Amino acid sequence: MNQQQLIEQYVAGTLAEAEAEAFEVSCLEDVELARQVEFEQRLKAGFEQVARGSTAEFVRSESTLSWRLAAAASVVLFLCAAVYLWQRLPGAHPQVLAALTSTMEQDGPSLRLALVRGAESAPRLPAGEVRVEIVGLFDPGSDYSVMLDRLRQQRETANIATLHGQHPTSPVTLEIMVDSDQLAPGTYSLRVIKQASDEEALDFIFEK
């Protein structure tokens, strides 16, 4: 067995315990070997973490044209939304969005929003008080704003509500409540922005 195979088997956990322990001692005696193993461990861990969000990252289409179009559309959409919001105070219907306040809310209807590359259809918001679980990488020490916009034809957006000062429930999850019954059928955008930061916003689309 060559060194690369040993590394792969150690990281995959398929080496026998005695062999694994001997290999660990070799890592303590060889800094470069240890670094190679650690990169392999982190590569595997990175894949596992990415896959927890969605496996769509691995099977996206090879066409880049659609991505460029989508990116361009997102920029246009963002500019329209920014201009519109600039001219109008947000929060016209603040009761549509609410912070998650009780564990009881875990039992009701829910919707999981994750960045799914190449997804062909937007998820559908169920009826009632819906717990929306937003998946991304969040800083637990920071506040986030969540903006709910309705997307209309001719690239218009209408802000429905904005919720400030939201804390992630975990470093990979931010949860809010959406009162689905107050929303008319249509396409909506949910934007998550880290407050006091220039970090890129997370944008999700869903249907009602």
Partner 1 sequence: MDFIPGGELSRRIREGDVSAESELIRQFEPGLRVLLRRRTGGDHGLLQDLVQETLLVVIQRLRGVGIDDPQKLAAFAAQTARNLAIASLRKAERQKTDVDSEATERKPDSSRGVESQVGDHEAALAVRALLRELPQARDRLMLKRFYLEDHDKEQICQEMQLTEAAFNQALSRARRRFRQILEERGFAKRDLLNLGL
Q: Which stretch binds partner 1 (CB under 8 A): 17-25, 98-106, 151-159, 192-200?
A: 17-25
Asked if residue 38 binds partner 1 (CB under 8 A), the reply is yes
Can you tell me which of 1, 25, 184, 196 binds partner 1, judged by CB under 8 A? Answer: 25
Can you tell me which of 3, 47, 181, 207 binds partner 1, judged by CB under 8 A? Answer: 47
- In this structure, what token pair is assigned to residue 80? 């329209």
Q: Which is nearer to partner 1, 63 or 195 (CB)?
A: 63
Q: Write the interaction track for partner 1 spanning residues 95-134; mark x where CB under 8 A is met and - where it is not.
A: ----------------------------------------
Q: What is the CA radius of gyration of the chain?
A: 22
For residue 30, the number of C-alpha atoms closer than 13 Å in the C-beta half-sphere is: 13
Contact footprint for partner 1 (CB under 8 A):
10, 12-13, 21, 24-25, 27-31, 33-35, 37-52, 55, 57-62, 137, 170-173
